[in-house]
Amino acid sequence: MKIFRFTPILLILFIAGWSCSPNPRNSFPDNNALSQTPFVPTDNGYKLVWMDSFDGTKLDTTKWSLRGLGSRRIGYNDSSMVKMENGNLLLMYDIKGDSILGAMIGSEGKFETTYGYFECRAELQKSVGPWAAFWMQSPKISEGTDPAEYGVEMDIFEYFNELGPDTLSHALHWAYGPEMQSVGPLKSGLKGLDKGFHTFGFEWTEKNYAFYIDGLKFFEVNEGISKIDQYIILSMEIRDKLEGFKKAVAPDTFKIDYVKVYKK
């Protein structure tokens, strides 16, 4: 057997290369929030104006619609993947026969607003593969490039478990098409994110956006500010390639306790 011996230079290069190798599941601190003081909307001039606590047995169709039913990437959004149970909304991922199923609901045409503090309390999915998302969208986003006039896709959070169980992703996108612009992904690390319920908040003002987890502010952005009414979306998303589901366990669930909207 040939024995490989490190010279001092080779040893330094090996250590440097090892320390810089991608290790996404362990690349974030336990808490990288900008502030450790929890933000309470009612203590900051906000008043609750809209909410759904999902207490019924059926989705409240005065507030939500099933969204994007049918083909979605390599699977389907299916109404059977949307359930109400024990005061929670369940958005599920499952495999039925040869079909990969996901779920999405939205408030388009039923509740749309400009500016505010938006919050949901939820338990995230366990799998690597499908991903939970809480976001806002503009009905005009494909019609022009000015975010103030045509709106912004506001990804309040997306939970890609392959980034690590304690890592959350946020992003902004506008001007859909060849001139699309984005901010992010911005990545937040918070120990215990994969366990139990957490609150996910988003403040949208005339000047900036701020992203929160459990009341802690993780990011503030002053680019791409929308100044038009937008609507809320909750979804269990499906990958665009089959290999993305190799480590997924079906069924899996994005469980939402409530959604609240506060305005000044």
Residue 193 domain-assigned (yes or no): yes
Instruction: Quickly tell me which residue has 């599941």 as its tokens.
Output: 25
Residue 189 domain-assigned (yes or no): yes
Asked if residues 221 and 208 have their Cβ atoms less than 8 Å apart, the reply is yes
Q: In CATH, what number is assigned to the domain containing residue 193? A: 2.60.120.200
Residue 251, preceding peptide bond in cis (omega within 30° of 0): yes
> For the chain, how many residues are written?
264
Residue 84 domain-assigned (yes or no): yes
Residue 2 domain-assigned (yes or no): no
Asked if residues 87 and 53 have their Cβ atoms less than 8 Å apart, the reply is yes
Instruction: Quickly tell me which residue has 């701020």 as its tokens.
Output: 210
Domain range holding 112? 41-231+255-263
Q: What is the pLDDT of residue 246?
A: 86
* Number of structural domains in the chain: 1
pLDDT in tens, the chain (264 residues): 333 343 443 333 333 333 333 344 445 678 999 989 999 999 999 999 999 999 999 999 999 999 999 999 999 999 999 999 999 999 999 999 989 999 999 999 999 999 999 999 999 999 999 999 999 999 999 999 999 999 999 999 999 999 999 999 999 999 998 999 999 999 999 999 999 999 999 999 999 999 999 999 999 999 999 999 999 999 999 998 888 888 898 999 999 999 999 999
Residue 115 domain-assigned (yes or no): yes
Closest CA to 187 of 225, 157, 209, 153: 157
The one-letter amino acid at 43: D
Residue 3 domain-assigned (yes or no): no
Asked if residues 189 and 30 have their Cβ atoms less than 8 Å apart, the reply is yes
Residue 51 domain-assigned (yes or no): yes
Closest CA to 110 of 140, 150, 139: 139
CA distance 117 to 102: 27
Residue 236 domain-assigned (yes or no): no
Model-level pTM?
Answer: 0.88
Q: What is the pLDDT of residue 94?
A: 96
| DSSP E strand stretches across the chain | 47-52, 65-66, 70-72, 75-77, 82-85, 88-96, 99-106, 112-113, 116-123, 131-137, 153-159, 167-174, 181-189, 198-204, 209-213, 216-221, 230-237, 252-263
